Amino acid sequence: MTTASGVRRAPGSRREEILDEAAKLFAERGFHRVGVDDIGASVGISGPGIYRHFPSKDSMLAEMLLRISERLLAEATARVSAAPSPRLALEALIGWHIEFALANPSLIVVQDRDLASVAEPDRRRVRRLQRRYVEVWVGVLRRLDPTRTEPAARAAAHAVFGLLNSTPHSAQALPRQEMAALLHRMAVAAILA
């Protein structure tokens, strides 16, 4: 099962269950409006029981955002490495980002809204991972069109991320497969424009 924290977990993994529920609550209410008692109640334990799994609410948020950044980068790198051409690498990147965004709308919201709440050292690690993810896209876009400059490729990647990361607001409009297909067509058209 893939959780809102962007990781696969074995059924019954309490730590992963806590991260999953925390992501949902943070997305609904915002990090600062959720307490450990809220998170504990959502998983059926006392608030202080959370501390058996995490040292703090802040550490939960940091781990959540680090894990998704690591997962996005690792999967993007693997898919690009397996693609036989730049066009298929682009298709693989777009497909992966759509798959992730549709499966993890809570994490999209939390990352966008609450990254600033992560302690500076962890926030720097998240940002480094995110930059590396962007650079995977930049490399593919430049191989696809060698006349595209790095800044233009970076801007195009960020623009497409904006489109694909809109899923917390738009994904309910269509059945999941239709939404994925629509996002894919739109992303390809936008990035090749």
pLDDT exceeds cutoff 60 at 6: no
DSSP notation for 73-101:
HHHHHHHHHH-SSHHHHHHHHHHHHHHHH
Instruction: Tell me if 65 sits within 8 A of 111, measured CB to CB.
Output: yes
This prediction has a pTM of 0.88
CA distances from 100 to 32, 53, 69 (A): 25, 26, 11
pLDDT exceeds cutoff 70 at 61: yes
Question: Average per-residue pLDDT in the chain?
Answer: 92
Give the model's pLDDT for residue 9: 44
Return the SS3 of 56: coil
Structure tokens, 16: 């992963």
In this structure, of 2-11, 17-26, 35-44, 104-113, the range with the lowest mean pLDDT score is 2-11
**In this predicted model, what pLDDT tens digit does every residue of 124-140 receive, in sequence order?**
999 999 999 999 999 99
Give the model's pLDDT for residue 7: 46
Question: Over pLDDT 90: what percentage of the chain?
Answer: 85
Distance CA 22, CA 27 (A): 8
Instruction: Give mean pLDDT, residues 134-151.
Output: 97
Return the SS3 of 9: coil
| Residue whose entry in the numeric block shows the structure tokens 């959370």 | 50
Domains of the chain, earliest start first: 59-192 (1.10.357.10)
**In this predicted model, what pLDDT tens digit does every residue of 155-165 receive, in sequence order?**
999 999 999 99
